[in-house]
Amino acid sequence: MLSLQCLPPFFISVPNRSTNSCSTAPLRATSDFAASPSTPISRRLILLRHAHSSWDDISLRDHDRPLTKTGQADAAKVAQILSSLGWLPQLILSSDATRTRETLKSMQAQVDEFMEANVHFIPSFYSIAAMDGQTAEHLQNIISKYSTPDISTIMCMGHNKGWEEAASMLSGASVKLKTCNAALLQAFGNSWEEAFALSGPGGWKLEGLVAPDSSICV
């Protein structure tokens, strides 16, 4: 595990409930867990809200709004931070909205490994995020549909309010996700279905929050 001193400058670590000091960084790689038949495997879930989008063209549907230049730059920064932390997804499940597609495009342009991930655009990610309290269960269903046991890290890209609600519901913490913020969650299971079943609501560990413009440790 990384020590706090090794953290790159944009990582917000999660507070230890029993102390005022900062927690350590997220676990860097699945090799940190020597899996055996009796040892559940680490499952790491990145919940990323899209980067900042433009409202300049009022003729566009909300679904079709593009990123701003700031949004493009922020997406590239977050990709680099995730790479530095070793949180590189093997599977990416994304809303099909223009702003999430362009967020991913900027991340792929910055870090080659994001090009290597298997990507699926999920139209329902756009609509479900607007529905109260339904996103976490929907994410679980979609992840179970597209994942395989060999995949250890998945990134889901979408929208508020659903992404904040899902991160909060899964972790049991109050999570706020500004544009291009990511919640890093971890659970254990021999499959993703088992990880969800064993952890239940509130049982995923919130390893940290990643933002493009913050050096705050809380």
Cα 38 from Cα 103, distance rounded (Å): 39
Q: What is the DSSP letter of 27?
A: P
- Report CA-CA distances (Å) from 66 to 56, 108, 118, 188, 201: 10, 17, 23, 36, 34
Residue 119 CA, chain-centre distance (Å), reads 14
Q: What is the CA radius of gyration of the chain?
A: 16
**Cα-flanking dihedrals φ and ψ of residue 85, to 5°?**
-80, -10
Binding residues for substrate: 99
Query: How is residue 206 written in tokens?
Result: 């919130």
| Segment holding 121, helix H or strand E | strand 118-122
Q: How far apart are CA 77 and CA 52, in angstroms?
A: 13
Nearest of 85, 76, 129 to residue 107 by alpha carbon: 76
**One-letter amino acid for residue 81 of the chain:** I
Task: Compute the residue count for the chain.
Answer: 218
Task: Give the residue numbers of the binding site.
Answer: 99
Distance separating alpha carbons of residues 60 and 168, to the nearest angstrom: 31
> For residues 84 and 26, what is the distance between their CA atoms, to the nearest angstrom?
11
